[in-house]
Amino acid sequence: MASEAVAVKIQEGVAVDAVVPAASETSAQRKILLKSVEGEEFLVDELFARGSKMISNMIDDGFTEGAIPLPNVTAPVLSKVVEYWKHHVGKSETDKDAREFDRAFVKDASSSVLFDIIMAANYLDCKPLLDLACQAVADAIRDMNVEQVRGFFGITNDFTPEEEAAVLEENREWSNALTVTGNGQKESNEGGNIVLP
């Protein structure tokens, strides 16, 4: 996945000194070396790497030599994170290109990839990416019924029959309450029926 121009696989054996930035480079040109849990190294513009608050703090704290190890992030996930930074860091929030990227980014991601990205974004402290991935999961399960949610996450029903009946009854009362009283909320059941199986 590390096919982007920014993320370059480093050959083993290349001295790290060879990629330490020269003092005369500005931060816009300086590159940072990131190392995934498998040891794979990614050379990333400092500007993009600062998309992670954690990395940004490490740079500010004087971490200038060698690779920044990221033991909680695998190479495939790190690659996607770097892609995200490339499309977002330094751009305005309404940038069309960034939004288009986001749409494709979440559309093609499986739920396990999304979870990995959620945990990586949390670890790296990259809130916009965390929000994006969480929203993608929420959007996926919204409007799903109970069986569909179970299927989506691979969950076996662990209620006893009595318990399940009790919870479903609770849900039925819920959906009645939302239809009948309305309770002032803007989002009652669209069209008048919440189907809570």
Asked if 138 interacts with other proteins (CB under 8 A), we say: yes
Q: Is position 146 an interface residue for other proteins (rule: CB under 8 A)?
A: yes
DSSP letters, 62-116, are T--SSEEE-TT--HHHHHHHHHHHHHHTTS-TT-HHHHHHHHHHHHT--HHHHHH
Residues of span 3-42 touching other proteins by CB under 8 A: none
93 is a site residue for other proteins (CB under 8 A): no
Cβ(40)–Cβ(76) under 8 Å? no
Which CA distances in Å does 37 have to 5, 129, 142? Answer: 21, 20, 33
Instruction: Report the nearest approach of other proteins to the CB of residue 136 (Å).
Output: 9
Q: Of 30-38, 79-87, 96-104, 180-188, which segment contacts other proteins by CB under 8 A?
A: 180-188
Region from 1-9, 79-87, 99-107, 184-192 binding other proteins, contact rule CB under 8 A: 184-192
Residues in contact with other proteins by the rule CB under 8 A: 111-112, 115, 118-119, 122, 127, 130, 134-135, 137-138, 141-143, 145-146, 149-150, 153-159, 163-164, 166-168, 170-171, 173-175, 177-178, 181, 183-189, 194, 196-197
